[in-house]
Structure 1
Amino acid sequence: MSRLNPEKLSVEFRDGVTTTDPIIPRRYTLTHSDITAELFLTIGLTYAYDKTNAMRDEVLGEWFKAMNRYFYYVYLHVDGPGAIAIRNYIFRRELPLALEAIRYGDREFFSAHPELNYAPIIVYFISTNSEFNRVENWGTFSDYDIEGPNLS
């Protein structure tokens, strides 16, 4: 079941990026408001560091190609203000929502490149603490498509 409320998602495409191209470089910065529960997705050639803050609770992602296969890399900074274990827990709890927001917010891109729905999502939990510094496979964007399976 979807957790994303599309009415709470704002999407901005920066210079050099359209709703369908390029694949690489295409970088995503997802931030949020704790007060309004709104999500803000910025898609550009570079990350939107101007949208981030000292909490470092944004979700950064980009497309990568190796051996003729696409991958989507996600970077989460687990270290930061507050207890690392709590930040790790919150990132894990909220990551499905973040991936739904990215998939939905860039849905025209996924329609133009349907093979990317099945690219592995590799998540880097970045921490100086070895217990929380991990790399994990979180499925594919087809797992986070709130509009249903892609039949193209």
Structure 2
Amino acid sequence: MSHWDPTKITVQYLPPATEFRPVDRRKYTWSQSKTTGESCLSIGYHYDFNVIQVEYRDEVLAEWIPQMGQYVLSGKIFISDESFDEKYAQIRFLIFQREARQALAGMIYGDRTFFTNYPWLLDSPIYIHFQSNYKEYNKIIYYETPRQYLNEAMQLIGT
């Protein structure tokens, strides 16, 4: 994450979502421009399908869901379907497994005002489902808690 600048993210709230609501089913759409490299985060009651590039499918989607008495940040990343061969699926999996931390840091940092109002969510678990038609790349991986990403982002900007 050392090459990532948390201040270079564009955050957009999709009405009626705000910095303070919703909590249940709050959805994040993280995307990055192929041409400029600029990171974009959309926050709302629904995913931002306007920023999803169907030909690349390089977005990271996540949402807050209540689960067994706590909230979980549950994400998903498309790896492959039947139109991808196994080697390409492997490459995508390895890249996204490495880059998921940056996307999560962008989501958490970009929505940091939300966490000042719901600080107990900072210790919630984060799980990312890598979606693939190949069994070895179709996995759910634990990615720690929002607190770790927020702390790392704040250290990068020196606060």
TM-score with structure 1 setting the length: 0.91
Structure 1: which 5+ runs fail to align? none
The aligned runs of 1:2-151 (5 Å cut-off) are 2-54=2-54, 55-79=56-80, 83-145=88-150, 146-147=153-154
1:4 and 1:100 in contact (8 A); partners too: no
Aligned-pair CA distance for 1:125: 0.5
RMSD: 1.5
Q: What letter matches 1:75 in structure 2?
A: K
Q: What letter matches 1:134 in structure 2?
A: K
Q: Secondary structure at the match of 1:41?
A: strand
Deviations 1:6-50 (A, max 9, x none): 332000001111111110121000110122221000001001112
- Give the Cα–Cα distance (whole angstroms) in 1 for the partners of residues 128 and 116 of structure 2: 23
Structure 2: which 5+ runs fail to align? none
C-alpha change, 1:3 and 1:69, in structure 2 (3 Å) is farther
- Give the Cα–Cα distance (whole angstroms) in 2 for the partners of residues 37 and 50 of structure 1: 17
- Give the Cα–Cα distance (whole angstroms) in 1 for the partners of residues 3 and 79 of structure 2: 22
Q: Count residues with an aligned counterpart.
A: 148
Q: Which moved more, 1:28-37 or 1:129-138?
A: 28-37
Aligned-pair CA distance for 1:2: 4.8
Aligned-pair CA distance for 1:67: 2.2
1:8 and 1:37 in contact (8 A); partners too: no
Q: Secondary structure at the match of 1:100?
A: helix
